[in-house]
A and B are shown apart, each in its own frame.
Chain A
Amino acid sequence: MTDTRYTKEHEWIRLDGDTATVGITDYAQSQLGDIVFVEVPDAGKAIAKGGEAAVVESVKAASEVYAPVSGTVTEGNASLDGAPDTVNSDAAGDGWFFKMTLSDAAELDGLMDQAAYDAYLKEIDA
């Protein structure tokens, strides 16, 4: 399993073998507040880096979740349908959004690692 990588839009991605798992960060869930609905993509959907891949809604906000890298969705997290609050309680774990195969694993190199993301969070909260 690789290190977790991050985008400026607060998505995380983690590669395990050929398949990567994608979710939103704990910071993102805390900014949204109580999450009430998550729409995850269907398996087989091709997504492009930076394109809209999923939707996450709290009571008063809705935001798109963007694909951190390009590839094909292999699974959406069906368990979020009945329990969207999992994203609040475990954003980096059980609250994952979808799994995907990558069309170009090198795209991961352009994303932030943990240290860079932590620094980025400090910067935007300042």
Chain B
Amino acid sequence: MTDYSNIETTSGNRGLSFEEPLIFELDSQGSTAVDLEEPSHDMDRLGGLRRRGSIGLPGLSEPEVVRHYTRLSQKNYSIDSGFYPLGSCTMKHNPRLNEKMARLPGLGDIHPFQPESTVQGAYKLMDTLATWLKELTGLPAVALSPAAGAHGELCGVMAIRAAHQAAGNDDRKVVLVPESAHGTNPATAAICGYSVESIPGNGNGRVDVEALNARLGPDVAAVMITNPNTCGLFENEAKAIADAVHAAGAYFYMDGANFNAIVGRVTMSELGVDAMHINLHKTFSTPHGGGGPGAGPTVLSDALAPFAPVPFLVHDANGLRMAEHAGDADAPQSFGRMKGYHGQFGVFVRALAYMMSLGKDGLRQASGDAVLNANYLRVRLSEELTPSYDGVCMHEALFDDRFLKDTGVSTLDFAKSMIDEGFHPPTMYFPLVVHGALLMEPTETESKATLDQYCETVLALARKAKRGDTAEEFLSAPHLTPRRRLDETQAARKPILRWKPEPLKHAAE
């Protein structure tokens, strides 16, 4: 029989896989998908600043727009459609109840500057979320306003700097971060005016506590540690580290990106933490939306709480009100404001709906299942892959590229070949402390059947790579996607960052 599976099509479409132009190439001049009434008059108070000329936006009808974005959506991998074991990212199921709640008119359609008497329900919701976060971490205060994880880090480190300043310790200029840290940690410390020094690992994927202790001193402002760390391991000496950090007069920041592994099983107060951000979009399942929005509420110890950013809620006789001004009677020592309005309220609604759905028993079961799933992958995949560290991992399993030695296949090629099998690749080449890292985080919302299929697939790929005569197939993967590997060098050397009308485009070249 003739094989027609690779036939060239006239349209460029291939069955359910459509080629879709840019909106600018679909323009039907003058069309719109939004019918609005004529303005009631043409009196003008623009003071001569009326726009001259057109913007150049394309005009499309509603069916055209709906089809365009529907087709584009179909070119995306998503947690709804498949397994997304992206280490450090906690890609778990996003319940639609949370979306429904965020769209209640009484929650979605309220304005940040309504009189406070008209938004007591919103304040109560935020206060309830704050209670959950404080209870789950054991810390006494939480700043809700940071917009994402890195923004929460900034909140924590700014609070630390404010505390040092208040105590007259402004000669502390150094923040220590482990070499396995997320890039946001050093970037955050730098924005706070600190220089950054790296602490080595101890060979077991954890912080070298002796090296850390040796470096602590009167110039150190803070130590930032991710726990569980980016190798997927619990920093089992966290409390000892905290004690040493405190004894040296510094503060202990914990990066809570991986909080999902330990929710309901340990509190930050037990670990001696002074500040930790919580990525609501990871641990508490608000959707990632192709890159955000997130929210990074930051819990603070008693020592740091007075320096928390505005706004925050204050209980008084009339109910709740918002302290909005750093330096006034409500917030005399606040280090300032990090974000417009009151934080990522829409994300708060979703996260609280998720927490309430699971409850304290469900959250504990969730961290248990997340760690169980990761260890299941670790053990099953060790049959062919090379785990970087021995023993039990937390929520993610770290492998390196030793198993690919002499195969001619790199971590990148191996990961890309997983795409053809219908799986999103794990995080690659991070953390930097092992060679050719593959970091897999399955989360608790995957079934055993999914994990088994994934393991069988990855093991088969590993065996295939090791056969030695298959490198070419890996090197050119993926083959079955809307686009094959993209030329990132060309993109960076000759940046094209926006559409331009054709004549302009040629003129620019």
Contacts and interface: CB of A to CB of B under 8 A. Distances in A.
Q: Do chains A and B touch in the complex (CB under 8 A)?
A: yes
B493 interface: yes
B16 interface: no
14 contacts: A34-B489, A34-B493, A36-B489, A36-B492, A36-B493, A37-B492, A37-B493, A57-B492, A59-B488, A59-B489, A59-B492, A60-B488, A84-B493, A85-B493
- State which size class the interface on B falls in: under 10
A121 to B, nearest CB: 19
Contacts of B489: 34, 36, 59
Interface in A60-91: 60, 84-85
Contacts of A85: 493
What 3 A-B pairs come out closest when comparing CB atoms?
A36-B492, A34-B489, A59-B488
Interface of B: 488-489, 492-493
Nearest to A85: B493
A84 B488 CA distance: 14
Interface residues of A, number: 8
A37 B492 CA distance: 8
A78 B489 CA distance: 20
Contacts of B488: 59-60
Contacts of A34: 489, 493
A60 B489 CA distance: 10
B126 to A, nearest CB: 40
Nearest to B488: A59
A37 B495 CA distance: 11
Contacts of B492: 36-37, 57, 59
A37 B489 CA distance: 10
A59 B97 CA distance: 41
Given A34-B493, A37-B493, 12 more contacts: A34-B489, A36-B489, A36-B492, A36-B493, A37-B492, A57-B492, A59-B488, A59-B489, A59-B492, A60-B488, A84-B493, A85-B493
A45 B493 CA distance: 26
Interface string A49-60: 000000001011
A13 B488 CA distance: 31
A60 B492 CA distance: 10
Interface string A5-44: 0000000000000000000000000000010110000000
A57 B492 CA distance: 10
Contacts of A84: 493
Interface string A83-110: 0110000000000000000000000000
Nearest to A57: B492
A60 B488 CA distance: 9
A34 B489 CA distance: 6
A57 B493 CA distance: 10
B18 to A, nearest CB: 29
A93 to B, nearest CB: 20
Among A34, A37, A57, A60, the one with the most B-chain Cβ atoms within 10 Å of its Cβ is: A34
Contacts of A37: 492-493
